[in-house]
Amino acid sequence: MITVDKESGHPKAKVLYNFGREEYVDKEALRRLIKSINRFLGPEEALKAQTENVGEQLRFVSGRPMGGTWFLDQLWQKLGIKDILEKLLKERKFSSPVERAIFVMVANRALNPSSKLAVEQWGKEEVHIEGFTHNKNKKHGYLLTMLLRT
């Protein structure tokens, strides 16, 4: 561990602690030291420090927010809307999960209002909604709107 002395005007390396040879180092003591230092870092910095040496073993692919949609989904289920819709739609034998598509439309209106055609893209690409599968039919949003009117 070293620090740089800038008071003299010239950078000068100063050894704070010499850990010694690798085979004699108390690795458990180093882990405790790292854990102690991480208490003073923010969660992002601590996570970054823990994953710096992972290299190519882990790779960040993508991330989507799910807090708002998760909360609304819990409320949706707690109010019994999911069960009611599934019961009402059971006889119609739809090939896609209509209840989830209706939930996506409602969640979109509450969190990020957009057009009927953009709702499915929002549900597929911008947020995570448990159980929602994207329908390739671009008119799906309009069909759902018509279904809700009947």
Residues 11-22 pLDDT 10s: 667 776 777 787
Name the residue among 56, 32, 36, 55 with its Cα closest to residue 46. 36
pTM of the model: 0.53
For residue 57, what pLDDT is reported?
66
Task: Give tens-digit pLDDT for 27-50.
Answer: 888 888 878 887 787 777 777 766
Q: Are 144 and 95 in contact (CB under 8 A)?
A: no
Instruction: Flag whether pLDDT at 9 surpasses 90.
Output: no
Domain segments of the chain as ranges: 2-57, 67-149
120-148: per-residue pLDDT in tens? 788 888 888 888 876 655 555 556 666 65
- Give CA–CA dist 111/21, Å, rounded: 57
Q: Which two tokens stand for residue 18?
A: 């010499």
Predicted pLDDT at 111: 92
pLDDT at residue 139, as a whole number: 55
pLDDT given for residue 64 in this prediction: 77
**11 or 98, which is more confident?**
98
Lookup: tokens for 61: 């692919």
pLDDT at residue 133 in the model: 73
Residue 138 burial (C-beta neighbours within 10 Å; 0-12, 13-18, 19+): exposed
Strand locations in 21-150, DSSP E? none
Coil, helix or strand at residue 14: strand
> Which residues lie closer than 8 Å to 16 by C-beta, 6 or more apart?
1, 2, 3
pLDDT given for residue 110 in this prediction: 93
Question: Cα separation of 81 and 93, whole Å?
Answer: 18
pLDDT value of position 141: 58
Report the Cα–Cα distance between both ends of the chain, in Å, rounded.
Answer: 72
Each residue of 44-80: pLDDT tens digit? Answer: 777 776 666 665 566 667 777 878 999 999 999 999 9
pLDDT attached to residue 114:
85
